[in-house]
Structure 1
Amino acid sequence: MISTSLHELLDAQLGDLYIQGTRVETLEKKDDVQMTSVVTDSRQAQAGSIFVAIAGERVDGHDFVTGLSEDVALAVVDHLIDGAAVPQLLVENTVRALGDIARLNIQKRRAFAARGMNEFTIIGITGSVGKTTTKDMLHAVLSRLAPTVAPQGSFNNDIGLPLTALQVDEKTRFFVAEMGASAKGEIAYLTTIARPDISIVLKVGVAHLGGFGSVEGIRDAKSEIVRALTSSGVAILNADDSYVRTMAEMTKASSIIWFSRQSAEDQPKPKVSGMVSSVIVRGTDTHVDEDNRAKFSVQLPDGTSFDLRLGIRGEHNVFNALAVLSVVYSLDIPEHIAASVLSQMSTISAHRMHVAEVTRGEASFTVIDDSFNANPDSMRAGLNALASYKKADEGLLRVAVLGAMLELGSGEEDAHRRIGLYAAEHADAVIAVGSSEDENLTRLAACLADGAGQKAQLVANTHEANALVEKLAQQHRAVVLLKGSHASGLSALASEWIH
């Protein structure tokens, strides 16, 4: 965070300031302080911190205001807390206030750049799948060159993005902003905090379909990230996605970089209006090795071509790599730097295509932990990875341990049956995991099992799934895919197995 005074917050009219319970309209010099960090966890608050009290599902940050030490600079609250030792900024909505403070921080960084004090570029990423992995890959490349800020894990909502934006300081050259949405208008709001200079749209799928009503609704929501671009911006779009292709007509950006896994014959460069610069980055001739790592041929718009073997697993990551290479091309970064980083990169955010060897008593097996979250597109990608892993080893039992997918709308049961069928086509055994506490999760898991037919077994919870995997692994050499929504509990099972 760029150091900010209490006086600056008052000038920005973010709320009403109270010191020792009394409203202060004119701040005396002795009461002004410099603030150098923003936290939402009171345990992280220290001298110079702003503590933003947010009421969550289980914990209300307001309950911890009286426990803050006197050297904490400020507490942001939506109601005054009696007995607080620190000044309080009273606002209507503390989550929105967090966004306001983050916006101020980005504005200050933009002002430094405008005065010639270090360039600053914001790259926004959205899509139904691949956001976090693309963010990880891009962060790895850009941080090799200059100070780069990117979110931890999937900090991509109205709390996570502002907290990440508040990590930006005077020296930050690149800010990689992951932007997610479960309803229309959410990405548009995030872009008011950190308007991208470069916007990436990876894919329009059916994740969160229940919140949007239709795939067209998802497309419109994702398009908010390119609608936010100015005429000097760059839109990086997936040419292989028919919904993403329509976004070329929705942006003011004067430059579009397409990326595609197809040849020019199979996927010509999409046409755009005459005033827009349009080029395409291609990745073709993909081959996946025994460790499920993809090698492909890259063709850049300037005629440069080279082969690239990704360090991270999963053929689906070719799309993510092409998006990263498109950013690299737009920034005039030498492609060999990006290629070197992407080929050596072996770890990304937790529970994403992480392969590990597991021993549980007398059972030993390989786990492909892709349990962070799930939607139909990412489910298919995970199952493809399971089928490709050591493909030539015919004696390897391939087990898909699958949990429910959420927010798919009225067609959710059919969607689960289709994924169950897909799983049966790519795995030797399918374990559909329900929940002892949530009937909805069990209902959807039953649909997975129904789709998978005779290869499937429905279990009530992760404990039963663990027992069944151990039994199978005692009888066979096995590789096990873990894939499901957060609520399915498979991430916790993965952590138990691996750690």
Structure 2
Amino acid sequence: MINVLLTELAKVTQGEIFGEDVVVNQICTDSRSITANCAYLALVGDKFDGHTFCQQVVEKGVKILIVNQPQTNLAEHVSQLVVKDTLIALGQIAALNKQKANVKTVAITGSCGKTTVKEMLAAICRTAGKTLATKGNFNNHIGVPLTLLNLEESDEFAIIEMGASQAGDIAYTVNLATPDVAMVNNVAAAHLEGFGSLMGVALAKGEIYQGLSSSGIAVVNMDCDYVETWQQDLDNLKQIGFSSEPFADLYYSDLVLNQNLCPEFKWHYRGQSYSVTLNIAGEHNAQNALAAIACAIALGISAENINLGLSQAETAAGRVSIKKPNANLTVIDDSYNANLSSMKSAIELVSKAEGTRIFVMGDIGELGQESQAIHSEIGEFVAQNKIDKFYTKGQMSRFAQAKAENHFASFDALIEQILIDINTAVEADQNAKLTVLVKGSRSQKMENVVNALVQSNEEKV
């Protein structure tokens, strides 16, 4: 965070100061990880009130509080900024810090792949300058402000991921970030409970383009079915379109997967062509890479830096992460989250693996009335691809499962069956190759399956 006086924060939040005017250089909202140098901002949620920890953080050395009402019985040296709503104040202070930072900013959203695109773009930007990128899943109305508060004067690029569970979420966060470049990676059947329909998802994601100024650049996935939905916002903006087909400003060709299931392809922009090999598995990640390339071009980054960054980019945990606990077994850990589109991409990926292909599926959450139909569609898609064994766990995933004996109520029984499959195959052939794809929504905690498979098989190395 860039140093700022408490009086300046009082001005942007329309708050009142009790105590001395002091310099603020860090804001924390979690009392468990507080340090003495932080200003503590007390958030209030449905099941918690950060104000109950004010005395505790002061005892840890905190000298600045940002609160909804004055706190009593505190040491005299503690300064308080009293605001109407600390959540709103968090956004206002974050926006101020962003204004003070001289940083080129990209805002990224989408139903699938936005975190992968963020990681790819961050890797590219780091080859050109100091870069701040969203960490983990800090992409909501609290996470985005906290990310913006980490901006420093020395940063040159900021890559901000934005999620949404309802209309208006992105409109709020994009106005805090005031990006130079904005992109919707795609629209798919995710969080339908909050949006009601795919059109609702598209409209909510498109809010990101409304946060661009007249000099901003909109990066547009021309393969998305909902581009026309955003056309009114896009008409007055400079655009860079990308596609898997050659009609767009930016496109790719000659796509193949290498022996590690990682894409190799050529990308083309304005008559120039470049070859690149990704370090992230999955044919669908060529499209994610194209999105990152388009954003990098919008930032003015060279093709050489783009390819260097892409070659160094790594996937985030639980997102098509390849684990090889021994010579026989490959585990594709795609357990972080799931929707219909990403499920199909992952199934297509494992179907290209050598040897025995096993797919372990957990429920996709937040699908509302479409849940049964979407899970059934996944089951049909599995049947159309080269999957040797298909196991499911969860209340809704049973609708994807044609064989009742392959649906499990517990992790223990599921893991035991997969280990039997692995042991049986290796006993029959010491050189047997097995690939296990594990995927489901965050709520399903499918990483438990990944961890058990890796740990059980590492012991045999």
- TM normalised by structure 1 equals 0.84
Distance 1:252 1:108 in 2: 30
Tell me, yes or no, if the aligned pair for 1:204 and 1:244 is still in contact at 8 Å.
no
What residue in structure 1 maps to residue 369 of structure 2?
A: 410
Structure 1 range deviating more: 99-108 or 350-359: 350-359
Within the candidate set 408, 423, 429, 2:389 is matched to 429
Tell me, yes or no, if the aligned pair for 1:230 and 1:252 is still in contact at 8 Å.
no
Secondary structure in structure 1 of the residue aligned to 2:226: helix
Which structure has more relative contact order (CA 8 Å, sep 6+)? It is 2
Tell me, yes or no, if the aligned pair for 1:229 and 1:253 is still in contact at 8 Å.
no
What residue in structure 2 maps to residue 297 of structure 1?
A: 266
Secondary structure in structure 1 of the residue aligned to 2:239: strand
User: Given the superposition, is the C-alpha separation of residues 253 and 165 from structure 1 closer, same or farther in structure 2, using an over 3 Å criterion?
Assistant: farther
What residue in structure 1 maps to residue 66 of structure 2?
A: 76
What residue in structure 2 maps to residue 354 of structure 1?
A: 321
What residue in structure 1 maps to residue 349 of structure 2?
A: 385
- 1:80-100 CA distance string (max 9 Å, x none): 544444434333433222112
User: Given the superposition, is the C-alpha separation of residues 445 and 88 from structure 1 closer, same or farther in structure 2, using an over 3 Å criterion?
Assistant: farther
Within the candidate set 155, 161, 169, 2:144 is matched to 161
What pairs with 1:299-314 in structure 2 (closer than 5 Å)?
Answer: 299-301=268-270, 303-314=271-282
Query: Offset of 1:79 from its aligned partner?
Result: 4.6
One-letter amino acid of the structure 1 residue matched with residue 82 of structure 2: L
Within the candidate set 252, 257, 260, 1:283 is matched to 252
Within the candidate set 205, 214, 217, 2:200 is matched to 217
| Long gaps (5+) in structure 1 | 20-30, 114-119, 270-279, 435-441
Query: Offset of 1:422 from its aligned partner?
Result: 1.4
Structure 1 range deviating more: 51-60 or 407-416: 51-60
Within the candidate set 241, 254, 257, 1:258 is matched to 241
Distance 2:418 2:48 in 1: 36
What residue in structure 2 maps to residue 61 of structure 1?
A: 50
What residue in structure 1 maps to residue 430 of structure 2?
A: none
Distance 1:293 1:381 in 2: 13
Secondary structure in structure 2 of the residue aligned to 1:125: strand
Distance 1:80 1:465 in 2: 54
Q: Structure 1 residue 201 and structure 2 residue 165: aligned?
A: no
Secondary structure in structure 2 of the residue aligned to 1:223: helix
Percent of aligned positions that are identical: 34
Secondary structure in structure 2 of the residue aligned to 1:156: coil
One-letter amino acid of the structure 1 residue matched with residue 169 of structure 2: E
Q: Structure 1 residue 233 and structure 2 residue 182: aligned?
A: no
One-letter amino acid of the structure 2 residue matched with residue 343 of structure 1: S
Tell me, yes or no, if the aligned pair for 2:44 and 2:87 is still in contact at 8 Å.
no
Distance 1:287 1:456 in 2: 36
Please give the root-mean-square deviation of Cα atoms over the aligned residues, in Å.
Answer: 2.2
Distance 2:251 2:90 in 1: 40
Tell me, yes or no, if the aligned pair for 1:136 and 1:348 is still in contact at 8 Å.
yes
User: Given the superposition, is the C-alpha separation of residues 455 and 400 from structure 1 closer, same or farther in structure 2, using an over 3 Å criterion?
Assistant: farther
What residue in structure 1 maps to residue 5 of structure 2?
A: 5
- TM normalised by structure 2 equals 0.90
What residue in structure 1 maps to residue 459 of structure 2?
A: none
- 1:51-79 CA distance string (max 9 Å, x none): 22234566543332211136423223335
| Long gaps (5+) in structure 2 | 426-432, 456-461
Tell me, yes or no, if the aligned pair for 2:13 and 2:92 is still in contact at 8 Å.
no
User: Given the superposition, is the C-alpha separation of residues 254 and 55 from structure 1 closer, same or farther in structure 2, using an over 3 Å criterion?
Assistant: closer
Query: Offset of 1:246 from its aligned partner?
Result: 4.0
Q: Structure 1 residue 465 and structure 2 residue 411: aligned?
A: no
Within the candidate set 19, 23, 28, 1:34 is matched to 23
Tell me, yes or no, if the aligned pair for 1:430 and 1:456 is still in contact at 8 Å.
no
Q: Number of residues paired by the alignment?
A: 444
Tell me, yes or no, if the aligned pair for 1:238 and 1:245 is still in contact at 8 Å.
no
Distance 2:259 2:329 in 1: 16
Distance 2:361 2:256 in 1: 26
Tell me, yes or no, if the aligned pair for 1:354 and 1:369 is still in contact at 8 Å.
yes
User: Given the superposition, is the C-alpha separation of residues 364 and 58 from structure 1 closer, same or farther in structure 2, using an over 3 Å criterion?
Assistant: farther
One-letter amino acid of the structure 2 residue matched with residue 316 of structure 1: H
What residue in structure 1 maps to residue 458 of structure 2?
A: none
Secondary structure in structure 2 of the residue aligned to 1:69: helix
Secondary structure in structure 1 of the residue aligned to 2:403: helix
Query: Offset of 1:299 from its aligned partner?
Result: 0.8
Distance 1:465 1:88 in 2: 54
Tell me, yes or no, if the aligned pair for 2:106 and 2:179 is still in contact at 8 Å.
yes
Distance 2:152 2:316 in 1: 23
One-letter amino acid of the structure 1 residue matched with residue 324 of structure 2: E
What residue in structure 1 maps to residue 334 of structure 2?
A: 370
Structure 1 range deviating more: 68-77 or 480-489: 68-77
What residue in structure 2 maps to residue 323 of structure 1?
A: 291
Query: Offset of 1:102 from its aligned partner?
Result: 0.5
